[in-house]
Amino acid sequence: MTKSKADLIYDTVNDLVADFLYYDRQEDEELPYGEIQKAIVAEDVSVEQIVNWFEAKLCEGLQG
């Protein structure tokens, strides 16, 4: 069965989150694995801020 475009986009977003929180953090010296979660717990940044930044950049990308 062929996936819908929405399903394919959902899967891609899922991959982006896994990369953002885990895979891209494994060898990142400035922001290693777990640091984003720690920053949220320490209230240095909020999930809402991260979502808003992503939304803003997505909207920018879609316009250009």
pLDDT at 23: 96
State the chain's mean pLDDT as an integer: 96
Domain segments of the chain: what residues? Answer: 5-63
Higher pLDDT, 57 or 64: 57
Mean pLDDT for the stretch of residues 17-39: 97
Residue-wise DSSP of the chain: -PPPHHHHHHHHHHHHHHHHHTGGGTT-SSS-TTHHHHHHHTTSS-HHHHHHHHHHHHHHHHH-
Mean pLDDT for the stretch of residues 21-35: 96
**What pTM was estimated for this model as a whole?**
0.88
pLDDT at 42: 98
